[in-house]
Structures are given as C-alpha cells and as structure tokens.
Amino acid sequence: MIIESIKMSWSNIINNKMRSFLTVLGVVIGVASVIALITIVEGATGSITEQISALGANKITVQAMGTPLKQGLNQKDLSKLSAIEYVSGVSPTISSSTAIVYNNNAETNITVQGKNEVYFKSESKNIASGRGINILDVENKTQVAVIGSEIAQKLFLGKSPVGEQIKVNGCTYTVVGLLKPTSGFALGSTNDVVMIPYTSAMKTLGVRSITSVDVYMADSAKSDAIISSINGVLNEAFNYREKAYNVFNMQDMLNAMGNITGMMSMILAGIASISLVVGGIGIMNMMLVSVTERTTEIGLRKALGAEPGRIQLQFLIESVFLSLFGGIIGLMLGVLVAFVAAMVIDFTLKITVGTILLAVGFSATVGIIFGYAPARKASRLNPIDALRHV
Amino acid sequence: MSEILVMKDIVKCYYLGGETQVVLDKVNLTITQGEFVSILGPSGSGKSTLMNIIGCLDVPTSGKYVLADNDVEDLDERELARIRNKEIGFVFQSFQLLPRLSALENVELPMIYAGVPVQQRKKRAAAILERVGLHDKMRNYPNQLSGGQQQRVAIARSVVTEPTILLADEPTGALDQNTGKQIMELFTELNNEGRTIIMITHDINIANHSKRVVNILDGKLIEQPRDSISSGNTIERSV
Ligand SMILES: Nc1ncnc2c1ncn2[C@@H]1O[C@H](COP(=O)(O)OP(=O)(O)O)[C@@H](O)[C@H]1O
Ligand SMILES: [Mg+2]
C-alpha cells in the first residue's frame, strides 16, 4: 500500500514537473533556511566557544578594583593565590598603552602587557621564534620583550626582531621572542601587543599595584572550591570591603554564551519556519488541485473497494512524500549555503544527525498537517459523483 | 440454485428544491447464481440509479436489499467498500482505467484493496489478462490500447477477484458494433464459465445476448419473457 502510494506520488511529480517543482519550492526554501541558519549559528558559536576556551577554560580571572587604601594586589597577595589548593599558577597582567621605538621607527599607542612565566608556560606553543619570559626575567626585572606579529611587521618590516633593541616608554628592552599570529577574528588577539616581565612593567610603566590576575587551575572540576578560596584571599587583602574585586570563571561565561546563542538559533529557526508554513500551504494547494483532478480516479478506487481510510492514507502519503522530497532538497541546499558561509566567515561546518532529522521531521510534519485536509476531502468523495465527473 | 441478490420494494427518491422525485419505485428483483441478466430501459428510466444500488455505491431510500447474504441496509461506508471489493466487479461504459498504470497494474488494483500479496497479484492479473486475450498487452498503458482492448482490461479487472456479480453499465456504449459484439461474446463465455452477470443497457440488441431481460421504465421493473424479445424491436437510442 505504501509502496503503491509512493509510486503513485512519484508518477504525479514526474507528470507535473513544473507544478511539483513550484509547489515543493516553498518547502525547499523553508527547510533550507532553517537548516542554513541553525548550521551557521551552531558553527559560528562553536568557533567562538573554541576561541574562548583557547583563552582559557582552565583559568579564573580576577579583576581588582581595589579600595582607597589599597589600589590593587601586591606580590604577597599573588603568593597567597598561588598557594591555594588545585591552583597551578597565577599570572598577573599589567596593561598600558605607550610608544614603542625601534631605530627611528616609532609606533604610538601600543598595548604593553606585563606578564610572568606562568603565562608563557601555558602559551609556549604560541611562540613563533626566540623564547618566552621566564622566571629569572620576572625575578630580576630583566628588560626583555616578546612581541606580537603585527607590531613586529610594523617595526622591523620583515626583519627578524629577535635580538633587536626597542624602547618601551623610553626604556631599552631586548626583543627575545616573537608571537605567532592569531586568527583575525580571535578574541584577545595578541598580534599588536608587546609583552614584558610584569615586574619590569611596573617599573617602566610606573604601575604600583596589580589589577588583573589569571589564576590557573590544575583541575577545573574543582573551580567552585578554588573560587571560594580566592574570595577568601581577596576579602582578606581588601579588608572585606565590598566591590573591591571581581572573579570571573571562563566556564561560566561559556555556559552563558551557549545559552544565548542556543536561544538565538531557536528564534532564527522560528522565523525561518514561517517560510515552511508558506511551503505547507503550497503543498496543500497542490494536493487540493490533485484531488479535484483525480476525482474519477478516487471514485474508481472506491468502486473497486478502497475504504475511505485507504484513500485518505494514500493522499496523505503523497503529500508527505512531496514534502519530504522538498525537505531533502532543502536540506542539501541549506547545507550548501552553510558550507559557503563557513568558507566566507571562517568557521568549522558541523552537520549533525540532529540537523538531518530536523529537516526530515519538519518536512514530514508539514506534509501531514497540510496534507490532512485534502486527503480527508478525497476520502469523503461520493463514488457516484466522482465516477460521473468525466 | 442459490439466490445471490434479492431486492424487495426498493425505493430511491431524490429531493430537489423541495420536490421529491421517485427514481426507483418499489423495485423487486431476484437473481440466482449463474444468471446473465440485462436491465433494459431508455435514458432517464433509472438504470444507473439501480446499478449504483446493486453495486453498493448508493443505498436505497427504503426497501430491503440482500447481496450474497449481506443486508446492505445498515452498512457504513467502510463496510460497503468491503462488499464492493468482495462481491461486485464493475465494468463501466467509459472503461475507467487509470491512465498511468499499465494493463497489468490496472487489473491488480482491486486485489490491492483485497490485500492479496504482491506476487500472487501479478500472477493472477497476468492469468486473467491472458484469459481475455491480452497476453501480449500486459505492459501497455491504456492509451496504447484500442477501445475494445481497454474494455477487455476492465473486464479482466472486474473478474480477477472472483466477485459474486459482474456488474456492467453500458459496456458496449463506447465501442463500435463489431467490437461491441466481441465484448458480448466474452460476456457469454464468462457466463458459461459460471459467472453471474448483470448488464445495464438501453440497446435491445445488446440485451438479447443475455438469457434474461428485465425492462425498466420510470423506475418500475417489468420482467420480460425470453421468447417475446424480438431483435428488431430496438428501443430508441438516446444519450
Ligand atoms: N443525484 C441525483 N440527484 C437528482 N436526481 C437524480 C440524480 N441521479 C439521477 N437522478 C434522476 O433520476 C432519474 C434516473 O436517472 P438515471 O438512473 O441516471 O437514469 P438512466 O441511467 O436510466 O439514464 C433521472 O430523471 C435523473 O434526473
Ligand atoms: Mg445511465
């Protein structure tokens, strides 16, 4: 019976190619837009999430606003933070904007960041040449710098920067390392940043206290315990003053972002599914026309013993088949659009079984909902009237 | 011989704009196994209405109709469909073949609704098409067949489920005289094989092929003795 009906609907599609094409187009566009949107949003979200994770899902960021008496954290506070259980290290960041000079080539407003060896240990894979900042640099306040790829290009014009001397805020620093370029869209790009030991940075840039610290976790599953220990240390450091500091867990941010983008993709898909409804109406229209055209056929089938339910099922199968046909073309089109989008805005395309099931499920549902009324109409035709129709 | 069709005081009325039109007026008809009966009448006499009721496509306004021991009175649409499938084989004036199915597939149709498995369906359809002389036309589509051949396919379709009654409505109406005669010969052969045939016609020459003729006029049935039928006495042909 089902095979019979599918054969029948296939022959209807073949016999009315243009009409079927136009009818199915609505579903094709509907499914394609839903699939493209979901795939693009998911893919883009995946890429952003990956970038954020690369920034460190295994670290907790502390921002110290300080109190009138104590503007930020000091060395002692850092030692206390690194002594917390499951903390593998702490990395302060001192950030300031200043001029960098190489020979007669000056670049103003360059971000200079004071970092320590903990940061460079976790980022060792991002050193393109030379070395990172080590613990001796930090302890001895050595005047060495690791520079980003873009600033290197601007100052050294393609020449290898390692071993050259630059002036940071007027003090002479030796470039010991070059960072790899980060992708253009990445958050926290280090391409035009100059990094120096934070101890040297405090001296050179005239900074007295540390306001930003990354706490690296040895075990990110223990983040809650670590955060409460951090709160303890900071409360003590700032004498329990309110709003003296903030603690961010990158994982929390990731989760929040996941929720937002998930919601966004649902909303977008919801909007796109309006076109599916339009497609469904197209299917319904074609099925109604088909019922009218095939009145005699319906009458004959009934005369030959087809029960009303069978006629209804046949037309329902035909509309579902038509809709599924559109859905599968739509799926391919949607994936193609997403594929092009992935190439243009540079994210990794992920096509999940869920996406495919969604397209199939959507179009089948459309076929059932919008095929129901025509199928019912067909099943209720009086065979005598139907046979007289000729 | 067993009675396979019994009609008692069948009345069919149509209501049009407040007026009642009696199309079948207390029709009584009994048909036994193996008969070949013609229902002969002019246009508008109620032939098609009677055939629709016999074929369970319609139900009477009043009266009792028993077909192969089924009282048709209190059957719903589904049950009527089952009875049609099992007890009736229709042959229409305009053949009513589905144009997108081959001869073989058309003959398979009633067996699909009877739930015959696919292999058996093909075998039986092929055998019956061979029986009506179309063994080389099974793959042809209706538009690749002549009128006579199409009607043979339709006849094959009507008997493939071995129904109680073969019910034909003007089966030669769309055919030329010669082809019509061949179709009537096929009916006679089928009847000789034991098939019960009820044929509706307005043409006495066609009716004369049957063993029994029942006249219908203004919704009333008049049984006609076999010997009183004379082949020259054709009732006026009308559309
Ligand atoms: N559905 C209907 N509604 C109203 N009147 C009908 C209907 N069907 C048939 N009739 C009337 O019943 C009478 C008999 O019709 P029909 O059985 O078709 O005659 P025949 O087949 O002998 O030409 C005609 O007068 C026709 O107008
Ligand atoms: Mg008629």
Q: Where are the domains of chain A?
A: 2-52+255-387, 66-243
Q: Which amino acid belongs to residue B168?
A: A
Q: Is the dihedral of CA A110, A93, A257, A36 positive or negative?
A: positive
Residue with tokens 């369970």: B56
pLDDT in tens, A327-372: 999 999 999 999 998 888 877 788 888 888 988 898 899 999 999 9
Contacts of A216 (CB under 8 A, 6+ apart): A56, A58, A59, A87, A88, A89, A90, A91, A118, A122
Least distant ligand from the CA of B23 = 1
Percentage of residues in chain B having pLDDT higher than 90: 70
ipTM here: 0.90
User: Nearest CB to B78: which of A15, A307, A390?
Assistant: A307
- The pLDDT of A185-203, averaged and rounded, is 82
Q: In the structure encoding, which two tokens stand for residue A322, read together?
A: 């038509």
- Contacting residues of B for A11, CB less than 8 Å apart: 100
Contacts of B113 in chain A (CB under 8 A): 301, 304-307, 310
The alpha carbon of B216 and the centre of ligand 2 are apart by a number of angstroms equal to: 12
The predicted model scores a pTM of 0.71
User: Residue A67 in contact with residue A211, Cβ under 8 Å?
Assistant: no
| Residue A385 near chain B (CB below 8 Å) | no
Average per-residue pLDDT for chain B: 89
> What's residue B18's pLDDT?
86
CB B35 within 8 A of CB B6: no
Contact A387 B78 (CB under 8 A): no
Q: Which of residues A273 and B35 earns the better pLDDT score?
A: B35
Residue A60: alpha-carbon gap to chain centroid: 21
Contact call for A384 and B57, based on CB within 8 A: yes
What band does A184 get if pLDDT is binned at 50, 70 and 90? low
- Per-residue pLDDT, averaged over B133-140, amounts to 93
| Shortest CA distance from B85: residue in chain A | A305
| Distance, CA of B90 to CA of B113 (rounded, Å) | 14
Among candidates B84, B94, B112 on the partner chain, residue whose Cβ is nearest the Cβ of A303: B84
* Residues with a CB atom less than 6 Å from ligand 1: B 14, 16, 21, 23, 41, 43-49
For chain A, percent of residues with pLDDT exceeding 90 = 23
Total CB pairs under 8 A between chain A and B: 55
Determine the pLDDT at residue A56. 65
Q: What confidence category does residue B1 fall into, taking pLDDT thresholds of 50, 70 and 90?
A: low
Subunit contact A305:B57, Cβ cutoff 8 A? no
Comparing A44-58, A169-183, A234-248, which segment has the lowest mean pLDDT? A44-58
Which 3-state string (H, E, C) describes A20-44? HHHHHHHHHHHHHHHHHHHHHHHHH
Q: Are A4 and A255 a contacting pair, CB within 8 Å?
A: no
Query: Which residues 89-148 of B have a C-beta within 8 angstroms of A?
Result: 90, 92, 94, 96, 98, 100, 109-110, 112-114
Predicted local distance difference test score (pLDDT) of residue A55? 66
Residues of B in contact with A4 (CB under 8 A): 112
Predicted confidence at residue B38, as pLDDT, reads: 94
Residues in chain A with CB shorter than 8 Å from the CB of B98 are: 297, 300
Lowest mean pLDDT among A85-89, A262-266, B76-80, B224-228: B224-228
In this prediction, residue A304 carries a pLDDT of: 94
Higher pLDDT, A243 or B237: A243
- Residues at Cβ < 5 Å from ligand 2 ion: B 48
Name all domains of chain B by residue range, CATH numbers in brackets. Answer: 3-227 (3.40.50.300)
Closest CA–CA distance from residue A382 to any residue of chain B (Å): 8
Facing residue for B81 by CB, picked from A8, A11, A305: A305
Residue A252 has pLDDT above 80, yes or no: no
What is the structure's pLDDT at A349? Answer: 81
CB within 8 Å of chain A, chain B residues 166-225: none
Share of chain A above pLDDT 70, in %: 97
Q: Which residues of A touch B112 (CB under 8 A)?
A: 1, 4
pLDDT confidence bin for A34, thresholds 50/70/90: confident
Contacts of B109 (CB under 8 A, 6+ apart): A301, A304, B98, B101, B157
Mean pLDDT of the region A193-220: 88
